Amino acid sequence: MPGYCQVKRKVPGQQQPQLVCRFDFPMECRADAGIGHDSKRRVRFEAQRNDPLLNMYNPAMILGWTANIDIKPVLSTDAARNYIAKYASKAEQQAPAFPQLLSGIVNQMEETGSAKTACQKLLNKMLGERTYSAQETAHLLLGIPLVRASTSFQTLHLGAEGGMRELQVNEDDGSEDPDERQVTGDSYTKRGPGLEALSLHDVFKNYTWVKTEWRKKRTSTNTVLRVFPRLSPDPTGDQYKAYCRTKVLLHHPFRLPESLRVVDEQVQTWAQIWANCRAAGHDHPKDTLRCWENENRTRQEEEDDDENVPNPNAPANEEDWQVFAQAFPNAALPQFGIDDLGMRPLD
């Protein structure tokens, strides 16, 4: 039976990509639990198995839960983080997709309607039709903040024309109006002599511009410096020059940007300077710019480990107590404890 889990994938020994289950079912039966590899050569725990299609489960858990489970040991902190982040950031399902929203609007519009009106209506609709999750609703009603961050964010725009401006100040001392704390590129190039040896990255990460001078942030403040535009690091792409310039400007202290390009009284290209930097093995702090090595690495297919797609046509299941009440009218509902797992009528 084809399922939502089916993906097309290259399989050894086959020319054409084959339709396979992305959760690697059916699986080989095995008499003992052990360690094996999944179809992507990732290590996995393989439990004892006497059925090629059964999900992995824990007997005590499934008896208590009495519903489908899929159990896997957590093999790395990254796996746990990715799993949590994936579900925490998952979009709500009920809201219609934007194309559907838009086609609904366009269908209701008069023939004389313009694209502009359609877009305006779409925006209005998006405001009205956002779906709130249960957690979000509870947080809003109880006045609990939706987000708490141990990190603050600082945004820096390094324009190709040489302009530098800070887009947004995100500081915990909210007493001052951010508009009054405009930081311009000048604020870096005119930094005090004490900060001479600090790069743009260091200054924006560790200092805060207060009125006319940079003040050191509390050491406990962790700031992520976000740099825009997000240039492509592809060495063959047409943004590469600008990318190299951003890299160099970000990590090498300067008063005049162009001075960084002068090596032995010769003006070199930004790409050359960036190549020099790497060849010299400078130890620059990690930044948030795109990274060609990372982007070039073979990406793992976006895969969901455990995607529950509810079937809207499934008949509503009766609750256990309803089934019990039909079978034994007027009898008291039995109560089961942990020790009874496996011995209850429903087991």
**Which tokens belong to 85?**
């982040």
From the CB of residue 304, how many other CB atoms can be counted at a distance below 10 Å? 15
Question: Can you give the C-alpha Rg of the chain in angstroms?
Answer: 29
Closest separation in Å from C-beta 199 to Zn ion = 9
Q: Which is nearer to Zn ion, 5 or 198 (CB)?
A: 5
* Interacting residue ranges for Zn ion, rule: CB under 5 A: 5, 21, 25, 277, 282
Instruction: Say which amino acid occupies 126.
Output: M
Q: Which is nearer to Zn ion, 23 or 214 (CB)?
A: 23
SS3 assignment, position 218: coil
The torsion angle over the Cα atoms of residues 229, 235, 240 and 241, rounded to 10 degrees, is 150
Q: Which is nearer to Zn ion, 216 or 282 (CB)?
A: 282
Q: Which is nearer to Zn ion, 5 or 325 (CB)?
A: 5
Closest separation in Å from C-beta 75 to Zn ion = 21
Q: Which stretches does DSSP call E strand in the chain?
A: 6-9, 18-21, 34-37, 43-46, 151-158, 164-168, 207-210, 213-216, 222-228, 262-263, 266-267
Long-range contacts formed by 3-7: CB under 8 A, 24+ apart: 4/307, 4/309, 5/307, 7/301
Closest separation in Å from C-beta 281 to Zn ion = 9
Instruction: Say which amino acid occupies 220.
Output: S
Q: Which is nearer to Zn ion, 35 or 280 (CB)?
A: 280
Closest separation in Å from C-beta 21 to Zn ion = 3
Cα–Cα distance between 13 and 112 in angstroms, integer? 58
Closest separation in Å from C-beta 277 to Zn ion = 3
Closest separation in Å from C-beta 20 to Zn ion = 8
Q: Which is nearer to Zn ion, 25 or 98 (CB)?
A: 25
From the CB of residue 127, how many other CB atoms can be counted at a distance below 10 Å? 8
